[in-house]
Amino acid sequence: MSDLASPSIASEPVYLEYTFRRVMCIWWAYFWRHMLYGGPAVILVGFLEGLVGLGGRHLLLSLSAALVMAAVSMVVLGVVLHKQFRHFSIRIVASQR
């Protein structure tokens, strides 16, 4: 039997431990993108609400800002999940159930 026909150990996923450094890499990749895209998005929403006369209603601004930040969070999380870090990447693995 050739080596090509036998199952390869290399095809098994290698699980790395959660270390502070790896967690901080993931957090930082998420955080700066969230601030970079989310900050201007919230400012733009506030500006547009001010233009249409809704600037004095802080509750409406905070609700719309929360919706904008939730949408930005989903987009940024998708970007970070596809990111190739220096020594690892994030993957979703099916459970063995």
- What residue ranges do the domains of the chain occupy? 17-81
Position 61 scores a pLDDT of 64
- DSSP-H helix ranges across 1-97: 20-51, 58-81
As a whole-number percent, the residues of the chain with pLDDT over 70 amount to 81
**Farthest-apart Cα atoms in the chain, separation:** 77
Residue 32 clears pLDDT 90, i.e. is over it: yes
Position 31 scores a pLDDT of 93
Residue 7 clears pLDDT 60, i.e. is over it: no
> Contact, 61 vs 45, CB < 8 A?
yes
* Each residue's pLDDT tens digit, 55-85: 666 666 678 888 888 899 999 999 999 999 9
Q: Calculate the CA 62 to chain-centre distance.
A: 22
